Amino acid sequence: MAGNESINELPKAYEPSAVEEKWQKRWVEGKCFSANPKSEKPAYSIVIPPPNVTGVLHLGHVLNNSIQDILARRARQQGKEVMWLPGCDHAGIATQVRVEKQLRETEGKSRHDLGRDAFLEKVWEWKDKHGGIIFEQLRRLGCSLDWERERFTLDEDYTEWVLDVFVKLFKEGYIYRGKRMVNWCPVSLTALSDEEVIMKPQRSKLYTMRYEIVDQPGEYFQIATTRPETLMGDVAVAVHPEDERYKHLIGKMVRRPFPAAEIPIVADDHVEMEFGTGALKITPAHDLADFEIGQRHNLEVIDVLTPDGKINCPGCPELHGLDRFVARKKAAAMLEEMGAIVKVEEHENNVGFSERADVPIEPRLSMQWFLRYPATEEAIAAVENEDITFRPARWKKTYSNWMENIQDWCISRQLWWGHRIPVWYRKEKSFELREAESLDVANLNAGDLHVGVEPPEDGDNWEQDVDVLDTWFSSWLWPFATMTKVGEKSETLKKFYPTTDLVTGPDIIFFWVARMIMAGFHFEKQLPFNNVFFTSIIRDIKGRKMSKSLGNSPDPLDLMATYGADGLRFGLMRIAPTGTDVKFDETQIEEGRNFANKLYNAVRFRLMQGAVSSFATVDPATLQLSPIHIDILAKLDQLEDDLAAAYGDYQFNAVTQALYAFFWTGYCDWFIEAVKGTLREDEASWMREATLWTMDTVLSRFLHHLHPFMPHITEELWETLGYGDGSPLMQTPLLADKVLDTFDPATVLQAKTTATAVFDSVGRARNLKAEYNLASNKNVSFVLDPAEGAVINDDLLATFSLLVGAKGTEVQEGYAAEKGTPTSLTPLGALYMPLDGLIDFDAEKKRIGKEIAKVEGELKKSKGKLSSPAFAERAPEAVVNTERERLAEWESKLAQLQEMLAALG
């Protein structure tokens, strides 16, 4: 599609959807995304942060994966062998919950009705049908993922890794089982890791209760609590040992209201004297601190809650079976009735919520598997000394703080969907072993325990642990477990591990990034990635987090339908800062679409000028390039430097900004408009040739540079223009040289100066026209009294007139303008706009007066600086000289303006 005939077939506005679909298909069919481990090219690799198998695309994914795609496409252009590996994780809780819900709704059954094996079959069915929708959506976004390498954390090979790692760590003593206080989710019915608990401030009530002192009838002791419903589990009351108010009571007994019992007052340092009454009720079963106090004082642990958060206390029938929050109110009412409540106050406290179910977690004593983290020292050092570079660097501190206070990781989950813990108990001893206070590698020797990737051969004599492993316990192996089988060093691993970049959100720095680093060091003896780029978090325009419940999260597929995938990508990248959060506004995506349209129309304009010839092999020395041509080529060269610098710093918004400004302002607003005159059919062919060559040079290189951000449209236009040799743009390497490498630098500098002078003068002339309400009048003529040394010739004057929208511009040295002629000082000289008696003296005076005021302001600033002796003495010579030059310029400008004003009478 080229040449004048077909141009009418091109619609006036770019229509992305068909184009995007076409290229997505062609890239995949052409295996353009496949990584070849046998390639001689240097490797570049990224593993995708695995989305949930239940996941659907949201804007966070769009940002994250756009960045990865940009890096991957840029690396390909730079001649790297690129592997960008896709996959997802099995999302234990989320997936199980979803399938259970479906089961309940369609069959009215629970997972227990089906049994473990049958239920898991259902989950796999669900996964095959609904899982991985997000990959279709990422294809829609244009992501150049190597689809043949898609991995899933429950794949056979991957599972073998997870189990193998468990066995190794157990045998090395890093994994153990123990009865501990854990974070229990009463809705998901499983233990969670500390990282899955989110502290939220809550408006609670602080109840102050009074308990009677046993051997001092009629005397009371006051205790403050927010959780009266756990009172039945109280086994003591604690005060600070130094608290003068209570010292004499330590060791005495108080009466617990219900079920009635006598419990001791103990002394413990943990108690804050200043808070509440300075006395703390001790419920070891339902609070970590209380549990520890209980341990110190040999107190009983009375569990009064069921796993799903109901009261379990037959001795207190009023509360037994009630939900914990209902019971809280009821317990308070009961206390009130008994006269045991002294006061109730509003109180804000922090409560831990389950990340998954968004309900308050319960600290619960239970038997769980824990991991003592391996390779922590290497992991800390690698980030500290920047073997692994964090961007932005400030996340280093967050990372090291966590790493240095690292706690053992609760890795067991009371779920069915996941990697079942590869531990078997000998049947005869199974009860005893399951109840054992602790279990670790030492127990292996007794022969009653089997820990292995394979089940024991005499399976009938053994029972497997019922729990599964935390999903993150599989994700932390992602960078290498996706590349090779256990015990092998695959070609892929050798070529692409460690990976080059990891792109992820700072919210999973502990969950995933830190753990991957430790796993990388421990199992592969190498860091897993060289760079970590932390993306921004996308919020709505009001700064709120995007969420389904708020309905403030636009569907990226809708956005792509409206603005195109390219528009969405570019718009989002343009506003994505490197540091903080980004506030999303749809108008920003609209800008992305508009930019695509601008590019499309600029290409459309090029096609209207005729077919592309073999511009790439033409030696520019054989062309007669004008300063306007050289100027845009110089800007192109500058753009390439700017891009290299911005990419080097992972400053993606700076890249988009540079691309945008170059193309829209530099190429479209100035260059195209300036050369339109050279494209007229009556113009000399050498002029036309020079312009077309410049356009093709700029467009072809620009399409290249824009490609990583807007892959579809650039690919389409590259083909339409016929710039390539038939292979896709995405596989065409960047040119190593700069356009103007072979040019004389003095010529280039002169051209830039001249073009800038013309453009700036155009601005002044347009302003003159606008001030006289002549902006659209093309019959205005100008007279230029040239400045000394200004480069002016007929071509440049014609360009000037064209850009200004003037009939013509005449050069007259020492021009004696009619009194009151509108004038402006320009880099090319004094510019006059003779109006044949239409002069508005007042308007002209006002206009010049305004300019004088501006110049005087600058003059004052400049003089102020130079008049300080310290400035001349201490500032670098270059700075002082520049300032002197500026002062001289302002002074001469002021003198001329004053002359003009005087001439008005």
Give min distance, CB of 897 to RNA, in A.
Answer: 15
Query: Cα–Cα distance between 230 and 285 in angstroms, integer?
Result: 9
CB of 231 to RNA, least distance (A): 10
Rounded Cα gap, residues 279 and 267, in angstroms:
10
Q: How many CB atoms lie within 10 A of CB 199?
A: 10
CB of 578 to RNA, least distance (A): 7
**Bridge partners of 782?**
809
Residue with Cβ nearer RNA (581 or 810): 581
CA 363, CA 286: separation in Å to the nearest integer?
5
**Identity of the residue, 45 or 183, whose beta carbon is nearer to RNA in the bound complex:** 183
Comparing CB distances to RNA, the nearer of 20 and 591 is: 591
Q: 458, exposed or middle or buried, with CB in 10 Å at 0-12, 13-18, 19+?
A: exposed
Q: How far is the CB of 436 from RNA (least distance, A)?
A: 27
* CB closer to RNA, 218 vs 869: 869
Cβ nearer to RNA, comparing 278 with 822: 278
CA-derived radius of gyration, the chain? 37
| Minimum CB distance to RNA smaller for 388 or for 483 | 388
Cβ proximity to RNA: between 33 and 353 the closer is 353
Tell me whether strands 87-88 and 529-534 are parallel, antiparallel or unpaired.
unpaired
Count of all residues that appear for the chain in the document? 905
Question: What count of other Cβ atoms lies within 10 Å of the Cβ of residue 843?
Answer: 14
Q: Both ends of the chain: CA-CA distance in Å?
A: 62
Angle between helices 685-706 and 652-660 (to 10 degrees): 160
Cβ proximity of 348 and 204 under 8 Å: yes
Smallest gap from residue 163 Cβ to RNA (A): 29
Decide whether 46 or 675 has the Cβ nearer to RNA: 675
* Dihedral angle sign, alpha carbons of residues 476, 482, 484, 489: negative
Q: Which is nearer to RNA, 419 or 712 (CB)?
A: 712
Closest approach, Cβ 871 to RNA, in A, equals 4
Q: Least CB distance from residue 142 to RNA, whole Å?
A: 18
Quote the CA–CA distance of 599 and 711 in Å, as a whole number: 13
CA 647 to chain centre: 16
Q: Are 258 and 280 in contact (CB under 8 A)?
A: no
Smallest distance from RNA to CB 770, Å = 4
Helices (H), 405-489: 430-435, 472-475, 478-481
Minimum Å distance from CB 835 to RNA? 17
Q: CB 404 → RNA: shortest distance, Å?
A: 10
The two tokens of residue 76 are 């390909």
Structural tokens at position 208: 């102050």
Cβ distance to RNA smaller for residue 244 or 435? 244
Compute φ and ψ for 811, nearest 5 degrees.
-95, 125
Residue 6 or 39: the one with the smaller Cβ distance to RNA is: 6
What's the min distance (Å) between Cβ of 137 and RNA? 23
Cβ atoms of residues 167 and 422 within 8 Å: yes
CA 130 to chain centre: 26
In the block, residue with structure tokens 């570079």 = 389
CA 853 to CA 180: how far, in whole Å?
A: 77
